[in-house]
Amino acid sequence: MNQAFEKEHVVGALGALMLAVGCWLALFVVPPMVNFGDLGRPLFIHVPTAWASLLVFTVAFVIAIIALRKRTRGWDAALASSVEVGVVLTALLLFQGMFWARPTQNFWWTWDPRLTLSAVMFVSFAGVLSLRSFAEGLHRRIMWTAVSTIIAYVNVPLVYFIVKITDRGIHQEHSTPQTVSDVYHLALRLNAFAMLFLAYWLIARRSRLILAVQGGADAGPPAPQDGPELVAGVEG
Amino acid sequence: MRQLHRQWCGTAPLVLVLCLGLGADTSLAEETPAGVETPQEVAQQQDSPPQVEASSPDPTGGATSNANAGPEAVKPPAREVCHDDEDNDGDGLIDCDDVADCLAFATCGWILGGWVWIWTIFGVTLAALILYAWFITARLRRARSEETPHND
């Protein structure tokens, strides 16, 4: 394994810097919101987390399709990593939403369509990781992880578009730069790109960890149908 | 009991999903129009009498439809309304003085206008990301050190 400087650190460092500046802007610089006062500030981290989690799951979906075709350890590690990072981001998203709703709307939870679908998204992708842990052998592990990821992904576009389908619930329809005051743009964009960069860094590092842990000895002997490429394609 | 159930259902997303079939109280959500609201609007909504579901007394005076339904079953759960200058739940504490019910209410000034919540959200988010990154980095370092033979 190459221990030289790895390029993802540049992206990760940039993401960390942008997140620090974005949070500083959100907490201390941008004016309080008209409706929520200072309690509108958590939206500057909540919304970027939501964007990042949906995008990471979309990346996982694409990787799942590629992994089904390529069936190498590298794609397997990338798939598992992206699903795991997506689950972490979704858990944070749900936490932020609950802790924001309590002081502003006076409840921890409501069965709002988007909220419910987000919880389903969290549980279904956590289930992908759980299912993956039961699979033995590279071939079977890739197959189970990729197929279950593709199935779980069906819900992701629903999470995004549900506010257009129904106006029930507490989530408003999609915001655009035209519907958000100019003073809020910079903090929102900084945090959005920061979350994306950090997600990329986390996926890359987690992939390397999976490959390093698996090493040359995969769990169990390779199945007979596993071709040489399964053993050779280690570099992620 | 109903309130206890609701609180438990709000503690964690995973628990919430497990509570799916147990019928958490969604009456507030049904009353809430689309879009976001101000705390004042929420407070106004609280002023409306709580809705009572099921277990209403049998009009014939006989047994009720719910086996457990007694006088307490038809009584709505008492809860302090944090902005009406009244002691709604009869505990002698009015509005923001009723810490148990109004602790989280943003406009109760003594919680610093909600900054406790703001710091919690930002703090936990950043701490979780840092911890996750540290976890990955530490394990990766260990895996690589086990992989690389030492030249001692």
Select the highest-mean-pLDDT range: A105-109, A152-156, B10-14: A152-156
CA angle centred on A163, ends A156 and B128, rounded to 5° = 55
In this prediction the ipTM stands at 0.85
Measured distance CA(A202)–CA(B133) in Å, rounded: 7
Task: Name the more confident of B41 and A79.
Answer: A79
- HSE toward the beta carbon, residue B60, CA cutoff 13 A: 4
- Does A119 sit within 8 Å of B114, measured CB to CB? no
Residue positions counted in chain A: 236
Contacts of B147 in chain A (CB under 8 A): 1, 212, 215
pLDDT above 70 coverage of chain B, percent: 36
Task: Name the more confident of B79 and A220.
Answer: B79
Nearest to A1 among B32, B38, B147 (CB): B147
Tokens of B79: 């809860």
pLDDT at A136 over 70: yes
pLDDT at A229 over 50: no
pLDDT above 90 coverage of chain A, percent: 64
pLDDT at A38 over 60: yes
Task: Name the more confident of A110 and A90.
Answer: A90
Q: Which residues of A114-129 are buried (b: 16+ CB within 10 A; e: fewer)?
A: bbbbbbbbbbbbbebb
Q: Which residue has the tokens 């810490």?
A: B99
What pLDDT sits at residue B108? 60
What pLDDT sits at residue A154? 96
Task: Name the more confident of A233 and A154.
Answer: A154
pLDDT digits (tens, 9 = 90+) for B53-111: 333 333 333 333 344 444 455 555 677 777 677 888 888 888 777 776 766 565 665 44
- What does the mean pLDDT of chain A come to? 86
pLDDT at A146 over 80: yes
Identify the closest residue of chain B to A104 by CA–CA distance.
B39
Query: Fold for domain A2-217?
Result: Four Helix Bundle (Hemerythrin (Met), subunit A) (1.20.120)
Q: What is the DSSP secondary-structure string of A128-159?
A: HHHHHHH--SHHHHHHHHHHHHHHHHTHHHHH
pLDDT digits (tens, 9 = 90+) for A160-191: 998 888 777 778 777 777 778 888 899 999 99
Select the highest-mean-pLDDT range: A89-93, B35-39, B104-108, B117-121: A89-93
Domain locations in chain B as residue ranges: 2-105, 112-152
Domain locations in chain A as residue ranges: 2-217
Please report, as a single letter, which amino acid is at residue B56.
S
Nearest to B117 among A23, A99, A119 (CB): A99
Contacts of B109 in chain A (CB under 8 A): none
- Does A168 sit within 8 Å of B105, measured CB to CB? no
> Is A96's Cβ below 8 Å from some Cβ in B?
yes
Contacts of B132 in chain A (CB under 8 A): 88, 202
What pLDDT sits at residue A165? 82
Task: Name the more confident of A122 and A171.
Answer: A122
Q: What is the DSSP secondary-structure string of B117-142?
A: HHHHHHHHHHHHHHHHHHHHHHHHHH
- What does the mean pLDDT of chain B come to? 60
Sign of CA dihedral A143, A149, A151, A157: negative
Question: To the nearest 10°, the Cα dihedral for B18, B22, B25, B29?
Answer: 60
Nearest to A198 among B46, B114, B129 (CB): B129
What pLDDT sits at residue B149? 62
- Does A36 sit within 8 Å of B29, measured CB to CB? no
